[in-house]
Structure 1
Amino acid sequence: MHRRLIFSSILSLAAASVIQRPLLEPSDSQALINTKPLVSSNAIQDDISSSKLLERAKHLYKLAKLATDEYNHPTRVIGSKGHLATIDYIYSTLASLREYYDISNQTFPAVMGNVFESRLVLGHSTPKSAGPMSLTPPTKNKEPVYGPLVLVANDGCEELDYPANVTGSIAFIRRGTCPFGTKSENAGKAGAIAAVIYNHMQGNLSGTLGQPSEHHVATFGISDTDAEPFIKKLQTGETVDASAYIDAIVENIGTTNVIAQTKGGDPKNCVMLGGHSDSVAEGPGINDDGSGSLTLLEIATHLTKYTVNNCVRFAWWAGEEEGLLGSDYYVSQLSEEENMKIRLFMDYDMLASPNYAYQVYNATNAVNPAGSEELRDLYTGFYKAHGQNHTYIPFDGRSDYDAFIRNGIPGGGIATGAEGVKTEKEAAMFGGRAGEWFDHCYHQLCDTVNNLNLEAWELNAKLVAHSVATYAVSFKGFPERTAITSNAVPERSLYHGPKLVI
């Protein structure tokens, strides 16, 4: 039996436990803070241990279990009791440090979805790769729908691409050019009862429809291999009967970012870093992004032993898994003056993948705000100094740095890998198993405490601490901010968050 979330009750719980907490008043503790030593990289790195990180991870998993009565398994997806408890844990931990930090909550509108069950049949077969798109609506009345499969012209980005006979049928649409949500919307406007988007490149297709539309229809993605025989049949005039079924909800809710900024340090030159507090609905997200968000919480705790020359601002974003909702909202609310105070943003998402590689976003100044490359080089310099290999990964909009670099703020970050397959070369560089995902539990129920590589997590947490200490002391040699826009023109990204959008 499916349990629909009672969102009014959940939001009341959020208000009682988090949102209605009073903002902390400035205290007279600044004189005491100023008696502490200036933060140094070595000192704060020494404060970091895998045992303390693991202790926090175990607690986070307990919080994820609070959602079991809603989802039948642990999760920290936005709107769930697991996520509300996560926000409360972060806030209450910071509240104990109120003499050192100004703390605030930022509540914003968000959309969440959950697919309870789905099935797609094309002809007489069920494509193995078929999967519902994130934020898809259900089929009509949450019942199976039946109709012929109709091939859509071009990439389905224009309403004219949809032939008259798509009405009452299941639209078969090629990936490419425009967002999946646009394709689903056009299919709905044309009268389709469901849509199937097939990959035009090699591999399976899993993505999101993004912001809900009243015209969206139940939408699946399938691989190029599974699509090929049906494309040939339709192109030769053969009829392909099909059926689709999705039981899902898409709901508008409210959720919360948590921000903590040091009382000390130059407020016009702020070091900012963030991780996301939510998980996907499918699992508890202890690596994704418990490892990043807990690293921030641990460092924020230890930073209170020191003074800083430049302010440090920590952020825990909500709704990253639904499409970078929290970080997008945060940046959209910044005035030009407040935007210019942020000298750089550092993103820390998935730092403890079990089959890890030390990955650095390849953020160059050529296609990103000036300073992004200097941050990239700080990361690589740390790995080299510790005798570790590293590899560059695309800076392609898959995590919360995206809104910052689009608004002129230098950005970068590190990771340890998600669903990508480790190569033989990478196995030689980092150990582990070639031919397997960096995180075989990525976006799955098994992303628990047992899914963490503690060695990688501790080293990366020390690197995060190093990045904080470096810029909290000085921005010497780091490019000055001059505008909220950048002369660099980034390439169009296929991602806006962890799921494909195009």
Structure 2
Amino acid sequence: MRPSLVLAFASQVVAAGIQLPLVLPSASSPAVSSVGKPIVTSDALQADIDAKNLLERANHLYELAKLSNPDYSHPTRVIGSKGHVATIDYIYSTIASLGDYYTITNQTFNAVVGNVFEFRLELGGGGNVPKSASAMSLTPPTKNKGPVFGPLVLVDNDGCDQTDYASNVVGSIAFIRRGTCTFGQKSALAGKAGAVAAVIYNNGQGSLSGTLGEPSPDHVATFGLSREDSEPYIEELRAGKTVAAKAYIDSIVENIKTVNIVAQTNGGDAENCVMLGAHSDSVAEGPGINDDGSGSLTLLEVATQLTKYSVNNCVRFGWWAGEEEGLLGSDYYVAMLSTEENGKIRLFMDYDMLASPNYANQVYDATNEANPTGSQELRDLYIDFYQSNDQNYTLIPFDGRSDYDAFIKHGIPGGGIAAGAEGVKTKEEAEMFGGKAGEWFDPCYHQLCDTVDNLNLAAWELNSKLVAHSVATFARSFDGFPERCTVESESHGVASYWHGPKLVM
């Protein structure tokens, strides 16, 4: 890729409102094409994957996250931050330095980003602060960014209809059960009813975090709360007692521009592409070196090593922005595909969180009955890999939680693997994979401690070899893999309770 094209990308970064020097490839960088190279094989590409290279990239990525310290007071790669712009730069310039093996494109799109600087929720008087209380992503601040006071009022049903909000909600802090509709809808209805803030409590196990999504003038400052912390107050309210409450959020919500990066091999059949992706951003709360630095860096390493080989089918890599804000980048990318371009993608593979410290080998349970035909064949490829390497695996729901969602909704077969997020490892899983039962697969999920020290290098290398295997298999041949027959989703249209890794319902 010529330096002039990288400079064009730099101008888009500046247009996004952040100036940051780009690392440009040398003008003398050797051209790297697939001409005269051996055809890629799974064994060869797997052998090129080394945990040392992955760790070196992770250390660099963490240094990039630190560029956000002046604005966020800690490392982060959330969209709109200097850490994320530097991440995009690193991905782009690395691929550009590989010569003419790839064609790189970038998509700039509008996104909404928020930052919560401080928050505090007190319930029941006496300064009682529930431990699980958290501010929702994209929440507006409390009035004048100061504390607001009012009685806690239990909203009827799931708070998804204006009639669920009685007249006593005016001037109160609305207490709303999770379910049926989005967090944003609940917050807006509470605001319309005159609440000064809202608390959405979980109806399942664990804490509750989420995003309000597209900003609304009716949104009020909104918190999430675990079921365990909410139950004592629910009992008091149902018994007719008054529960005093105090809420405070200092936050901003703003529109920005951010960027997807897509790289496609110049060799191989451009009518039959194997595509894989990872998200380049983190949450605001931390640097996201596992989530999803591990996936992004694996793609970058596989893309680098692939240049040693030729391919029969084109390989397309995607690094999505705005996943943590609700799958924004991947949604935008697929929505912009023409029917013809959609049909060229034979399958999409999602790689999100590959190095969780308390890992399990998780395979999305993507069946052809519920998803575009070919999804199950991809699932079985992952299973066969783990079995052939004497590794255990578990199947996890294919429920729309990550960037594969837009692809399968547009008829593209999909699947992927993961090493685990906030789910609790069972005793059986500890026997299968080692680690600690009763703890999260990633105890630093969406937290400040998701640093280089949060990576399980053995799991990361194994999963990166599986990514290499998946790329090499389909770059070599689609023999036996179902043909694409439609760009419309073949799924059953089951409602998803996820949009991105944050609950919206």
Q: Whole-Å Cα distance in 1 between the matches of residues 242 and 289 of structure 2?
A: 47
- 2:129 matches 1:126: yes
Q: Whole-Å Cα distance in 2 between the matches of residues 287 and 259 of structure 1?
A: 21
Hey, what does 1:93 align to over in structure 2?
A: 94
In structure 1, runs of 5+ residues without a counterpart are 1-7, 23-27
Structure 2 contact 156–164 (Cα < 8 Å) conserved: yes
Alpha-carbon deviation of 1:14?
A: 5.4
Q: How does 1:297-446 map to 2 (within 5 A)?
A: 297-446=300-449
Q: Whole-Å Cα distance in 1 between the matches of residues 218 and 319 of structure 2?
A: 33
Structure 1 contact 286–447 (Cα < 8 Å) conserved: yes
Aligned residue type for 2:263: A
Structure 1 contact 173–195 (Cα < 8 Å) conserved: yes
Alpha-carbon deviation of 1:195?
A: 0.6
Q: Provide closer, same or farther for how the CA distance between residues 393 and 182 of structure 1 changes in structure 2, counting only shifts above 3 A.
A: same
Q: CA RMSD in A?
A: 2.0
Q: Whole-Å Cα distance in 2 between the matches of residues 257 and 385 of structure 1?
A: 35
Hey, what does 1:11 align to over in structure 2?
A: 16
Alpha-carbon deviation of 1:191?
A: 1.3
Pick one of 437, 450, 454 that aligns with 2:453: 450
| Deviation by residue 1:121-142 (Cα, 9 ceiling, x = unmatched) | 2222322222111111110010
Given the two structures, how large is their TM-score scaled by the length of structure 2? Answer: 0.93
Q: How does 1:72-221 map to 2 (within 5 A)?
A: 72-124=73-125, 125-221=128-224
Hey, what does 2:472 align to over in structure 1?
A: 469
3-state secondary structure, aligned to 2:441: coil
- 2:39 matches 1:47: no
Q: Whole-Å Cα distance in 2 between the matches of residues 317 and 293 of structure 1?
A: 9
Q: How does 1:221-370 map to 2 (within 5 A)?
A: 221-370=224-373
Structure 1 contact 279–288 (Cα < 8 Å) conserved: yes
3-state secondary structure, aligned to 2:261: strand
Alpha-carbon deviation of 1:411?
A: 0.5
Q: Whole-Å Cα distance in 1 between the matches of residues 306 and 261 of structure 2?
A: 17
Q: Whole-Å Cα distance in 1 between the matches of residues 429 and 145 of structure 2?
A: 45
Alpha-carbon deviation of 1:490?
A: 4.1
| Deviation by residue 1:66-109 (Cα, 9 ceiling, x = unmatched) | 11111111111111111111110110011112311110110100
Structure 1 contact 10–79 (Cα < 8 Å) conserved: no
| Deviation by residue 1:298-340 (Cα, 9 ceiling, x = unmatched) | 1111111111111100001111111111101111111111111
Alpha-carbon deviation of 1:251?
A: 1.2
| Deviation by residue 1:230-283 (Cα, 9 ceiling, x = unmatched) | 223323332222111111111111100000001111111110000111111111
3-state secondary structure, aligned to 1:330: helix
| Deviation by residue 1:13-67 (Cα, 9 ceiling, x = unmatched) | 359749xx99xxxxx979x623111111111111111111111111111111111
Q: Whole-Å Cα distance in 2 between the matches of residues 333 and 181 of structure 1?
A: 26
Hey, what does 1:25 align to over in structure 2?
A: none
3-state secondary structure, aligned to 1:111: strand
Percent identity over the alignment is 71
Structure 1 contact 360–413 (Cα < 8 Å) conserved: yes
Aligned residue type for 1:80: S
Aligned residue type for 2:151: P
Q: Whole-Å Cα distance in 2 between the matches of residues 439 and 118 of structure 1?
A: 25
Q: Whole-Å Cα distance in 2 between the matches of residues 327 and 50 of structure 1?
A: 28
Aligned residue type for 2:464: A
Q: Whole-Å Cα distance in 2 between the matches of residues 85 and 273 of structure 1?
A: 22
Q: Whole-Å Cα distance in 2 between the matches of residues 136 and 372 of structure 1?
A: 36
Aligned residue type for 1:92: S
Aligned residue type for 1:110: A
Q: Whole-Å Cα distance in 2 between the matches of residues 381 and 179 of structure 1?
A: 38
3-state secondary structure, aligned to 1:321: helix
3-state secondary structure, aligned to 2:499: coil
Hey, what does 2:488 align to over in structure 1?
A: 485
Q: Provide closer, same or farther for how the CA distance between residues 112 and 159 of structure 1 changes in structure 2, counting only shifts above 3 A.
A: same
| Deviation by residue 1:145-174 (Cα, 9 ceiling, x = unmatched) | 011222212111111211122111111111
Greater CA deviation, 462-471 or 395-404? 395-404
Q: Whole-Å Cα distance in 1 between the matches of residues 239 and 448 of structure 2?
A: 43
Q: Whole-Å Cα distance in 1 between the matches of residues 120 and 14 of structure 2?
A: 31
Aligned residues: 488
Greater CA deviation, 293-302 or 488-497? 488-497
Structure 1 contact 368–490 (Cα < 8 Å) conserved: no
Q: Provide closer, same or farther for how the CA distance between residues 277 and 487 of structure 1 changes in structure 2, counting only shifts above 3 A.
A: closer
Aligned residue type for 2:176: I
Structure 1 contact 275–315 (Cα < 8 Å) conserved: yes
Q: Whole-Å Cα distance in 1 between the matches of residues 287 and 207 of structure 2?
A: 24
Structure 1 contact 10–80 (Cα < 8 Å) conserved: no
Q: Whole-Å Cα distance in 1 between the matches of residues 14 and 188 of structure 2?
A: 32
Q: Provide closer, same or farther for how the CA distance between residues 334 and 10 of structure 1 changes in structure 2, counting only shifts above 3 A.
A: closer
Q: Whole-Å Cα distance in 2 between the matches of residues 320 and 306 of structure 1?
A: 31
Aligned residue type for 1:169: S
Aligned residue type for 1:102: T
In structure 2, runs of 5+ residues without a counterpart are 1-12
Structure 2 contact 178–201 (Cα < 8 Å) conserved: yes
Q: Whole-Å Cα distance in 2 between the matches of residues 411 and 501 of structure 1?
A: 22
Structure 2 contact 286–448 (Cα < 8 Å) conserved: yes
Alpha-carbon deviation of 1:202?
A: 3.2
3-state secondary structure, aligned to 2:220: coil
Give structure 1 regions of 4+ aligned residues with deviation exceeding 4 angstroms. 14-18
